[in-house]
């Protein structure tokens, strides 16, 4: 599961976090494999900004599900800082941590400029080097206890991400372009195509990744994961209605409109769509999996088989109604439960 932790009208950040924590416990009990959160900055509608801080909070009360980032935007950070965060998480939750890494800023250009210390391209040009350093510092494909030898101004240093656990997190490379798929193949890393954003090029990216994959010690075979937006309800009409709030957000995002808190289902139903916005919303929703549980589950199986992916990651984007509790997300939980019965039972 991928959770962007939306913040809706009249909801505090804490209430949104409590809703996600309850959903993480539900996903754990239902048998889901992974629960990932993302890094998005300067967005009033999203409470998921720092995965390394969120994961311990969300993991409380769970026993087996893996937690991870989908993803950490590495150019916003020093590789050592991220390696230490996730080494610490691995020590807290051994065998249950995933580090998904991306190259995008996860925000607008001004925020990215500030995150990167006033150098907008900082970390972008050195992305491959930083991924490799983070991997080495975490002992992925080697001994988690070993240090990494580096040279600064001609002087050798031993460096390690501390504290070190007895195991290493899984490392995934995220992206939506040929660059990321080619880099994941070259480094011998698992790959995630950012399909939940509705980006084109999925088939080309997966084909290049598999064709160019160079086996690594940690990952001798290519591994792929595909995120998919889902909304399930007793009827297709109700599912379409529940998808409305997220559709409004996506149209606002794509047209450059201000992003306020996510609307309720009732507010989204009254949204004054222009003809251009309605056409864009229909285009966006055509890539989602919206309907009753049996139909959606069948379509999910078909797309996984068609693209040959090892795992699918559900991003439940059902909205909430005006009367729903502010510290819960009933429609998203209902989507997980319904699909778990069809896919995991």
Q: Across the chain, what does the average pLDDT equal?
A: 92
Of 273, 265, 181, 177, give the one whose Cα is nearest residue 222.
181
Average pLDDT rounded to a whole number, residues 273-296: 95
pLDDT more than 70, % of the chain: 97
Residue 62 CB partners (closer than 8 Å, separation 6+): 24, 25, 28, 35
Is 97:169 a contact under the CB 8 Å cutoff? yes
**Residues 97, 86: Cα–Cα separation, whole Å:** 8
Higher pLDDT, 315 or 108: 315
Average pLDDT rounded to a whole number, residues 187-213: 91
Q: What is the pLDDT of residues 241-265, one digit of tens each?
A: 999 999 999 999 889 888 889 999 9
Of 8, 21, 62, 27, give the one whose Cα is nearest residue 335.
27
**Residues 318, 293: Cα–Cα separation, whole Å:** 13
Report the relative pairing of strands 148-152 and 155-159 from DSSP bridges. antiparallel
Query: 20 phi and psi, to 5 degrees?
Result: -70, -35
Count of Cβ atoms closer than 10 Å to residue 210 Cβ: 15
Average pLDDT rounded to a whole number, residues 286-298: 97
Is 284:197 a contact under the CB 8 Å cutoff? no
Which value, to the nearest 10 degrees, does the dihedral of the CA atoms of residues 174, 175, 181, 186 take?
-50
**Residues 85, 55: Cα–Cα separation, whole Å:** 11
pTM over 0.85: yes
Higher pLDDT, 33 or 124: 33
Reduced DSSP (H G I as helix, E B as strand, rest coil) percent helix, strand, coil of the chain, to 5: 45, 15, 40
pLDDT(110) > 80: no
Q: What is the pLDDT of residues 23-57, one digit of tens each?
A: 999 999 999 999 999 998 888 889 999 999 999 99
**Residues 181, 307: Cα–Cα separation, whole Å:** 15
Assigned token pair, 23: 């959903």
Q: Which range has the worst mean pLDDT, 90-99, 155-164, 167-176, 313-322?
A: 155-164
């Amino acid at each position: 599961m991928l959770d962007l932790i939306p913040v809706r009208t009249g909801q505090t950040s804490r209430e949104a976090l409590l809703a996600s924590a309850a959903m993480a416990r539900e996903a754990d009990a239902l048998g889901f494999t992974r629960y990932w959160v993302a890094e998005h900055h300067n967005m009033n509608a999203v409470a998921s900004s720092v995965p390394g801080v969120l994961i311990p909070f969300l993991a409380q009360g769970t026993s087996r599900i893996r937690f991870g980032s989908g993803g950490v935007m590495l150019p916003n950070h020093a590789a050592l800082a991220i390696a230490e965060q996730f080494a610490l998480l691995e020590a807290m939750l051994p065998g249950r941590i995933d580090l998904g890494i991306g190259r995008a800023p996860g925000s607008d250009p001004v925020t990215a400029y500030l995150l990167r210390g006033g150098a907008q391209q900082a970390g972008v040009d050195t992305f491959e080097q930083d991924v490799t350093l983070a991997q080495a510092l975490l002992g992925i494909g080697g001994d988690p206890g070993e240090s990494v030898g580096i040279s600064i101004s001609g002087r050798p240093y031993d460096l390690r991400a501390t504290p070190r656990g007895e195991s290493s997190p899984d490392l995934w490379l995220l992206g939506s372009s040929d660059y990321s798929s080619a880099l994941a193949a070259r480094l011998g890393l698992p790959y995630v195509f950012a399909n939940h954003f509705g980006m084109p090029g999925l088939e080309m990216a997966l084909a290049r990744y598999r064709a160019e994959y160079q086996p690594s010690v940690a990952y001798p075979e290519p591994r792929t994961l595909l995120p998919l937006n889902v909304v399930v309800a007793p009827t297709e009409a109700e599912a379409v209605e529940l998808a409305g709030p997220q559709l409004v957000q996506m149209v606002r995002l794509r047209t450059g409109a201000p992003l306020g808190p996510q609307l309720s289902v009732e507010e989204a139903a009254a949204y004054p769509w222009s003809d251009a916005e309605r056409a864009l919303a229909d285009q966006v929703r055509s890539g989602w999996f919206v309907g009753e549980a049996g139909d959606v589950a069948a379509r999910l199986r078909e797309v996984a088989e068609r693209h040959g992916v090892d795992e699918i990651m559900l991003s439940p984007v059902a909205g909430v109604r005006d009367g729903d509790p502010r510290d819960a997300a009933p429609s998203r939980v209902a989507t997980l439960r319904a699909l778990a019965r069809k896919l995991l039972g």
